[in-house]
Chain A
């Protein structure tokens, strides 16, 4: 068979892979077929990679094998071991791995060319994909560290930060222009220095963004990696990378905008607003200022719940970290046994990512029809006897409705305060992820039940049983 025929066959195989990616994404957009969608995309990936592996004709086979085995084991084990609550940061790390790959591809290409000048398209795409990939990789690691609470989730800001960032960005830009202008004939020291600077910029880029905005940032970095992969496609002249990268870049951007819209946070605010930095100086005064709260015992709350007719549970990230989803389901079962109507109010960004809470509750076998979206549940609160807020804070903060000076002003919230009674389960009076006080806690129809979410819910289950 001629070489031309062979490459036509490889092209056709990649076309199948691309069709499977697109079908997979389409199926992933509706709940019934989502699982099938993921598998179709995975099969597409398998086909595409098989085609590429055959095309290498076993050159460097041991390098490729060693890499795939190491990466496969690490990827599979961490994906299977990770707790469902830590999923967002796991996705961030996987995304960072992809970004780093794009960066390393550019690096290898630079060295593999051993001094020959690059064409303009390759020079531009090499340097761009390496820079964007590096930004995404370093940014993802910081996002991971913030969500894992290895480092503070609060925005890290200092005077002159924007200036420092601009200087680093301009330096990278200058090096990039140099690289292209010299057709890649740049001293290795400068090339490596430029890559190091992109990693630094990735770190600086995510540092000032607060934990509450991290889901949007991860989604944005995900689309960054997509863009880097598409540009890598130009660098290596492979349409499969261009198409798959562009698909992810575009859908990732749309997803980022959808998430930002759910939080009423324009993307520019997320990136440059240092969300919660106003609250950063507040906690000292904040925790002292909010003392006008009533706390209750588990028995009091159990009594209130047991004699209610309609209860809405509002789960938040506190529930997720405490792994309380199964305990919550047990509580709901107890209440339903008494003929009480129990439903769940899911804020679009409950947990740390849209849909995160649905996944956690699904894990605890909560029936799907009991999960209500914000628009559906808000009219229900005035006729609800007890709203049980478990580890949710900012998404219930009535300040978002009327306090124009509040950093979360305008964010759509759950109208928990309109319920007859509000019970808030909370670890302490510490302010929420966005670092803002919540006037809900001081309202006359609110009582607080302090403690770890899981311990509190377990206590409630036991107490309801004895009522």
Chain B
């Protein structure tokens, strides 16, 4: 249960984070658009933490059906793909930039 006061605090955090999100990338050059998109993609992989939380709740004091167990495993696997794949592919993109610098 989330009471009204707590909800407003969460909302405040949300709004401030939105402003930071706009501000922090406002000067990005076109060259970095693709890596940046890929990195933000990896950051929203933090949804994996949500999958872990909800799976823990699901398994606390009970043994859920095999269907729900499969759904939980799938959620965690998909979240992990988002995180691991996202950061790894961004790293590969940025490596391309560095290789050029090193060879010069």
Q: Spell out A's residues near B (CB within 8 Å).
A: 21-22, 24-26, 28-31, 34-35, 37-39, 41-42, 45, 48-49, 52-53, 55-56, 59-60, 63-64, 66-68, 70-72, 74-76, 78-80, 82, 84, 87-88, 90-91, 93-95, 97-98, 100-102, 104-105, 107-109, 111-112, 119, 121-122, 218-219, 222, 225-226, 228-230, 232-255, 258-259, 262, 346, 348, 353-356, 358-360, 362-363, 365-368, 373
C-alpha spacing A21/B1, complex, angstroms:
29
How near does chain A come to B65, taking the closest CB pair, in angstroms?
A: 9
Query: Mostly helix, strand, loop or mixed at chain A's interface?
Result: helix
C-alpha spacing A122/B59, complex, angstroms:
20
A to B contact number (C-beta, < 8 Å): 382
Q: Contacts A42-B42, A97-B81: A52 and B52 contacting too (C-beta < 8 A)?
A: yes
Q: Spell out B's residues near A (CB within 8 Å).
A: 1-2, 6-7, 10, 13-14, 17-22, 24-60, 64, 68-69, 71-101, 103-104
C-alpha spacing A48/B53, complex, angstroms:
12
Which of B19, B25, B71, B74 has most chain A Cβ within 10 Å? B25
C-alpha spacing A298/B75, complex, angstroms:
53
Q: Contacts A80-B92, A241-B49: A249 and B38 contacting too (C-beta < 8 A)?
A: no
Chain B residue nearest to A226 in the complex (CB): B44
How near does chain B come to A14, taking the closest CB pair, in angstroms?
A: 9
The answer to whether A94 and B82 have CB atoms under 8 Å apart is yes
Q: Which of B34, B40, B64, B76 contacts A71 (CB 8 A)?
A: B76
How near does chain B come to A201, taking the closest CB pair, in angstroms?
A: 20
List, in ascending order, chain A residues with CB within 8 A of B28's CB: 28-30, 255, 258
The answer to whether B17 and A91 have CB atoms under 8 Å apart is no
The answer to whether B20 and A247 have CB atoms under 8 Å apart is yes
Chain A residue nearest to B34 in the complex (CB): A355
Q: Contacts A67-B80, A252-B40: A101 and B51 contacting too (C-beta < 8 A)?
A: yes
Chain A residue nearest to B27 in the complex (CB): A29
The answer to whether A101 and B78 have CB atoms under 8 Å apart is yes
The answer to whether B40 and A70 have CB atoms under 8 Å apart is no
The answer to whether B91 and A76 have CB atoms under 8 Å apart is no
Q: Which of B42, B54, B91, B95 contacts A94 (CB 8 A)?
A: B42
How near does chain A come to B48, taking the closest CB pair, in angstroms?
A: 6
The answer to whether B50 and A241 have CB atoms under 8 Å apart is yes
The answer to whether B13 and A254 have CB atoms under 8 Å apart is no
Which of A28, A53, A80, A245 has most chain B Cβ within 10 Å? A28
C-alpha spacing A108/B44, complex, angstroms:
19
List, in ascending order, chain A residues with CB within 8 A of B91's CB: 35, 38-39, 42
Q: Which of B10, B40, B72 contacts A67 (CB 8 A)?
A: B72
Q: Contacts A222-B40, A255-B25: A348 and B74 contacting too (C-beta < 8 A)?
A: no
List, in ascending order, chain B residues with CB within 8 A of A59's CB: 56, 59-60
C-alpha spacing A239/B14, complex, angstroms:
8
The answer to whether B44 and A245 have CB atoms under 8 Å apart is yes
Q: Contacts A94-B82, A105-B50: A41 and B87 contacting too (C-beta < 8 A)?
A: yes
List, in ascending order, chain A residues with CB within 8 A of B22's CB: 250-251, 253-254
C-alpha spacing A250/B104, complex, angstroms:
37
New A-B contacts (7) at CB < 8 Å, excluding given A121-B7, A348-B30: A31-B29, A63-B72, A80-B92, A241-B46, A243-B17, A355-B33, A362-B97
Q: Which of B42, B49, B95, B103 contacts A240 (CB 8 A)?
A: B49
